[in-house]
Amino acid sequence: AQRVTQPEKLLSVFKGAPVELKCNYSYSGSPELFWYVQYSRQRLQLLLRHISRESIKGFTADLNKGETSFHLKKPFAQEEDSAMYYCALSGRGNTDKLIFGTGTRLQVFP
């Protein structure tokens, strides 16, 4: 079964603390993995994707095929990072449908 699991509904940290938002997936094949973010009163937007191997706003995520994980990390959280984060996967086919996890709300306190 194709599934994305985000075990934490809420993650609260203080400014400057490290952050790790967990994501595990189940997929028979080689999926593409993404992190989407939704800031307050804004639309869902792409944060980063594993194929780009990029760092966006200080966030990185490494695909671990052995552990089927794609955890999102940032060494020093900022207050403006407070948002809803969704992990998603897409199979390699003729459609790029996204399978989303249930999301993790990140709260960064001053």
Partner 1 sequence: ETGVTQSPTHLIKTRGQQVTLRCSSQSGHNTVSWYQQALGQGPQFIFQYYREEENGRGNFPPRFSGLQFPNYSSELNVNALELDDSALYLCASSSQPGQAAYEQYFGPGTRLTVT
Q: Which residues bind partner 1 (CB under 8 A)?
A: 4, 32, 34, 43-46, 49, 51, 86, 88, 90, 92-103
Q: Residue 6 Cβ, how far from partner 1 at the closest point, in Å?
A: 8
Q: Residue 86 Cβ, how far from partner 1 at the closest point, in Å?
A: 5
Q: Residue 15 Cβ, how far from partner 1 at the closest point, in Å?
A: 27
Q: Which is nearer to partner 1, 12 or 75 (CB)?
A: 12
> What b/e sequence results for 29-68 when a residue is b if at least 16 CB atoms lie within 10 Å of its CB, and e otherwise?
eebbbbbbbbeeeeeeeebbbbeeeeeeeebebebeeeeb
Residue 106 CB contacts under 8 Å (≥ 6 apart), including other chains: 11, 12, 13, 19, 21, 77, 81, 82, 83, 84, 85
Q: Which is nearer to partner 1, 12 or 18 (CB)?
A: 12
Q: Which is nearer to partner 1, 15 or 50 (CB)?
A: 50
